[in-house]
Structure 1
Amino acid sequence: MFWIVLFSLLWPQAALADIVLPTSTTIYFEQDNAPVTAPVDFAVSCYGYSWAPGPSPELAPGSYTPVEVYSFAAQCPSYGCSIDEPYYLNYRYIDYCLLTATVDHTTSLVNIGNKPYSECDTHFTVQACTSYFDLSADPTTAARPVHSRSFWLALLLTFIIETAVLILALKVVLRKRLQPAVRWKTVLSLGVGLSAATLPYLWFVLPNIPYISVVFPKWYVWSTLVEEIIVIIVEAMLLRKWVPLSKRAAIFISAIANIASFTIGLVLAYWY
């Protein structure tokens, strides 16, 4: 026991390796080589890959699609403000971080490298960090997730699953309640059309809306739930427009299709 305590005292970083350290960060926003003195609302999102507690898998570049592995949001009321944000980055590999900042109703998107801060000093159980962010950087140069082949395969699989569930649900509803003689061609067109009209929202549009990451910065499950609910509502609205269904029936069919495709996708991803 004595040697364990002694080792911990001599090597505090080893003892605190998996603990969230209280961190105070002084932040400086600049734009066009001038300090930004106005209040700044900002959100930082870092992309890469994560793993269960243990050794890093050290994935090769191009073998994975960078996903959001860390994020936070805050407000900086003045130049050189201080925020309290513990940077827990264990079991995460970060390729790059993007900063979305709003000043005077103008939004800037900046690539800030592979760390959510500029530099940090650790003093036993406390971290002191400093960050310099240049909001005048060209947003078009900011890094974006590169969609690998696995991403497109997952998208195709989701499209197939959701379309199949929609077709089955629509077939049952239309033949039993509305149009007993409805043709397969009509049902197939409805299923494919609904999936094609809503999946782009879920896979490309909603994940890039800063508002969702600002409201739910640390809870990926909640942000995913919000995105799924939005898609279910949009899909139900389209379904009611194309087919004479009640609100309850349209929402039910849309929810079943999305829940089924999401659940099957999770199971396949787990086994894969």
Structure 2
Amino acid sequence: MMRVALSLPISALIAACSPSGPEQPLCTFDDQGRIVMQSGNAEVACVEPAPIPTGAKQEKSGRLTILEAPLPPPFSDLDGKWPPDPVNQEPVLTRPAVPLDLSYYVRAFPQATEPAGEVLDLGSQHTIVLRDGCFFLDRERGDDPLVMFPYSAALVMDEEGYLAFGSRYKPNTMGNVRVGLTAETGWFGEPSDPDPALAEACGNHKVVSVTTVSNPFAVPERFNPALRRYGERSGATEKQIVERANKCAVEQAQREADRRLRNPALDPIDCNRFWGF
């Protein structure tokens, strides 16, 4: 793993839960990749960076660039519900917005300082990418704005080692969505100017605030009725329905990335025959 001497991202931009006890500092390294020694005779007790996420490019700055990610097969059966049991308790903060071992790779994670209350998750869908440690909303017309995240958002590493957006809360009712994949972003206002700290970290780009960053496939009940209707029309078994829908969803996500990053003339892939909207 490439080790570089990095300063912590601007503290005002990276929100974290209040620690319950003393927090270890983030390790720093000299230009030879050695841990900086304290008082010349002992290694600092510090937190080393997480492994570089799968599919990420580490820039010379040490920060990461992630422009795309493969979609994990979203469907497993036609009966699943999310969450499996009603959530009646108040959500509890369980993780920082940016874990210390991931903060090596991120210049800024600006987010709201308090919960926004009830929001409409399905307001819009956009792809959020990471470029040299800064998060941008990837738009077709270019001049992409920086993203101001909701209070609930957090960075996590998923089971396959990809950097993803998750939730600071337990239970997580949003579902993780990988950086570089289409996410439900709710509603956001007009682009605004960045505050000086964010501009210093990421450049003088416009900023848009999103109200959620959630997985479009996190609520099976949104898709399962249409998938069952597809089975009735086609005569496919449940296993065949799930396999075909997963294949189409994964290919559709890859085609969207190819159109966005490589060849906008490619035809999109339409999976509406499976979920009907």
TM score, norm. by length of structure 2: 0.30
Query: Which is greater in Rg?
Result: 1
Structure whose residues are more often strand by fraction? 1
TM score, norm. by length of structure 1: 0.30
Structure whose residues are more often helix by fraction? 1
